């Protein structure tokens, strides 16, 4: 008997323009959601197995199973609000895209090609332990490693779709007398010692490690939280920024790796430097491709662009400059804007999520046909460093000018 015969679906009441599962769940934020059917994704969250389904109009949800009731963190009646919190549905993505488009006209295209991509608000422990595995790694291998971690330390929940494992608590991992040895055998390599040291530090310094990590959300200072996180083994500045953005409500956190540094160079350096050719009080409305920057930020962002233009290779300093450039251009929610840019370049790389995306496109073909026409019509408005809009697997994808498109394989 299938899950459809056992558990009815409920409506989360969110349109594809605000949330697309096939886009959001495979763009390097979360690594435990599994494609389990046509347009369906399943994961063990909050000690329950959550099943989601994308349709042309909305997202449906249901619970397929749970731990014994005394362990369940989220009662079933609270699942809708928990999912709204997880996907941060209180944030209007359309309004954010409007604001980003007013700064960078390219977002008029990105909001179509990357429809419904939004930042997640994940459990903090899961985010931290996942991104420790992300340095010098790729999405496929991170997913494999985190699955092994959950199988080793998590709780198995059997459902009609198979067995799913909860993400373990810090205390669950701490019960292991040889954490480093276990993680080494699981395939984490040199990162094994990071986990052992981080668990040890959390257990020694905090009576309730989970609560300590959770309370970091209440600290409004991104830099202060980042400083606390980088005290843990395996958490450098980039990993800390990933944790801040995906679980700690730091909406301006911009994780910068080589790929994002290249995006900053390719998309923004020349266009920001072009601001030098016009007077500070001049409007740029005559140039549909122009970056719009308030006069108060003009000199600052030009200086940043100059620094990036002369950098031949990424360094810690130029990474920071690229990060600051994104923040100056897109704050607040600079981290969300960066995610949309990253997802746009990730499209088509490594084949991630192709099967699921293909099935969603079949279902939404009629409804998205007009939008595709709009994208094709507006392709002429792309900036000079984006040379074309190309159809890949039936979807419109931005292609960069100046040579072959870089293929992002790293999630570090």
Cβ 59 vs Cβ 84: under 8 Å = no
Q: Kindly list the distances between the CA atom of residue 85 and the CA atoms of 33, 58, 71, 359, in Å, as whole numbers in the listed order.
A: 17, 17, 21, 27
Query: In the chain, how many H helices and how many E strands?
Result: 20, 9
Question: Residues 75, 76, 80, 86: is their CA dihedral positive or negative?
Answer: positive
Place of tokens 């040199």: 190
Residue among 195, 145, 147 nearest 167 (CA): 147
Question: Residues 206, 209, 215, 216: is their CA dihedral positive or negative?
Answer: positive
Pairwise CA distance, residues 405 & 386, whole Å: 10
Q: 238, 250, 265, 357: which is the annotated catalytic residue? A: 238
Alpha carbon dihedral 219, 224, 229, 235, in 10-degree steps, equals: 140
Cβ 192 vs Cβ 234: under 8 Å = no
Cβ 127 vs Cβ 32: under 8 Å = no
Question: Active-site residue 238, yes or no?
Answer: yes
- Residue 14 tokens read as 């969110």
Residues comprising the chain, all counted = 412
Pairwise CA distance, residues 339 & 253, whole Å: 10
Query: Which phi and psi angles does 37 have, rounded to 5°?
Result: 175, -175
**DSSP assignment of 276-345, as one string?**
GGS-TT---TT-TT-----HHHHHHHHHHHHHHHH-SS--HHHHHHHHHHHHHHH-SSHHHHHHHHHHHH
Residue among 169, 316, 140 nearest 230 (CA): 316
Query: Rg of the Cα trace of the chain?
Result: 22
Q: How far apart are the first and last CA of the chain?
A: 41
Give the active site residues: 238
């Amino acid at each position: 008997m299938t899950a459809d015969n056992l558990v009815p679906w409920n409506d989360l009441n969110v349109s594809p323009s605000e949330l697309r599962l096939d886009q959001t769940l495979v763009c390097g934020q979360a690594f435990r959601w599994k494609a389990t059917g046509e347009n369906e994704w399943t994961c063990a969250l909050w000690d329950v197995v959550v099943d989601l389904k994308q349709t042309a109009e909305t997202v449906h949800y249901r619970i397929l199973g749970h731990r014994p009731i005394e362990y369940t963190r989220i009662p079933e009646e609270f699942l809708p609000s928990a999912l709204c919190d997880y996907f941060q549905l209180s944030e209007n993505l359309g309004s954010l895209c409007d604001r980003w488009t007013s700064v960078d006209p390219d977002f008029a295209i990105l909001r179509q090609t990357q429809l419904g991509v939004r930042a997640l608000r994940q459990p903090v422990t899961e985010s931290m332990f996942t991104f420790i595995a992300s340095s010098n790694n790729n999405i496929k291998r991170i997913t494999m490693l985190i699955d092994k971690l959950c199988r080793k330390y998590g709780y198995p929940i059997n459902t009609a779709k198979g067995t799913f494992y909860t993400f373990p608590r810090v205390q669950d991992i701490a019960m292991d007398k040889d954490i480093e040895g276990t993680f080494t055998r699981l395939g984490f390599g040199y990162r094994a010692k990071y986990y052992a040291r981080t668990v040890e530090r959390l257990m020694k310094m905090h009576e309730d490690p989970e609560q300590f990590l959770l309370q970091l959300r209440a600290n409004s200072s991104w830099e202060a939280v980042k400083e606390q996180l980088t005290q843990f083994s395996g958490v450098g500045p980039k990993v800390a920024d990933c944790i801040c953005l995906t679980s700690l409500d730091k909406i301006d956190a911009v994780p910068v790796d080589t790929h994002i540094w290249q995006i900053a160079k390719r998309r923004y350096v020349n266009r920001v430097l072009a601001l030098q050719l016009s007077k500070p009080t001049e409007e740029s409305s005559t140039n549909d491709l122009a970056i719009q920057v308030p006069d108060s930020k003009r000199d600052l962002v030009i200086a940043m662009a100059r620094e990036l233009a002369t950098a031949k290779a990424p360094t810690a300093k130029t990474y920071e400059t690229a990060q600051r450039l994104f923040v100056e251009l897109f704050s607040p929610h600079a981290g969300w804007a960066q995610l949309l840019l990253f997802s746009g370049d990730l499209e088509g790389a490594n084949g991630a999520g192709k099967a699921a995306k293909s099935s969603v496109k079949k279902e939404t073909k009629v409804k998205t046909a007009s939008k595709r026409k709009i994208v094709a019509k507006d392709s002429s408005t792309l900036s000079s460093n984006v040379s074309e809009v190309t159809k890949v697997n039936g979807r419109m994808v931005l292609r960069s000018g100046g040579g072959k498109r870089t293929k992002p394989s790293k999630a570090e």
